[in-house]
Amino acid sequence: MDEPALEEVVEILRQAAPRLAEHHRVEIPDDLLEQAALLARELLPDQAPPGSAIALLDEAGALARLRGTDLREVTASDLADALAVRRPTSPPAERPRLAPPHDPSVWAMS
């Protein structure tokens, strides 16, 4: 299945924005919708649009709400911060490995 065109993703964001704005009690300017679509497409390639763009906008709305200022408008800075949350720069920490079942020290302790 082909990814939707940028214009289609922006239109989907336009439809989702009022619900996200109401949920987070913020304002989402229309010009941020295209920015969110572009950032998601270019910098979150392992996540499919429009879901990646909606998740990015959702995270930005949450960050704008948590900012705690009287200005409850999602900004480009909120989008950048949301992107940093969704796309960490360092690789995920490796999970500690348990001793393999054939390790004799495991059997010696039981």
Q: pLDDT 10s digit of each residue in the chain, 110 long?
A: 788 999 999 999 999 999 999 999 999 999 999 999 999 999 988 889 999 999 999 999 999 999 877 768 999 999 999 999 887 665 555 555 554 555 555 555 54
Please check whether the domain covering 6-87 is classified as CATH 1.10.8.60: yes
Residue 57 has phi, psi (to 5 degrees) of -65, -40
pLDDT of res. 86: 82
**DSSP-derived 3-state class of residue 14:** helix
Nearest to 60 by CA among 16, 4, 92, 8: 16
pLDDT of res. 13: 98
Q: Angle between the 31-43 and 51-66 helix axes, to the nearest 10 degrees?
A: 120
Q: Distance between CA atoms of 4 and 87, rounded to whole angstroms?
A: 21
Domain boundaries, the chain: 6-87
User: 55, exposed or middle or buried, with CB in 10 Å at 0-12, 13-18, 19+?
Assistant: middle
Specify the DSSP element, H or E, that contains 103.
Answer: none
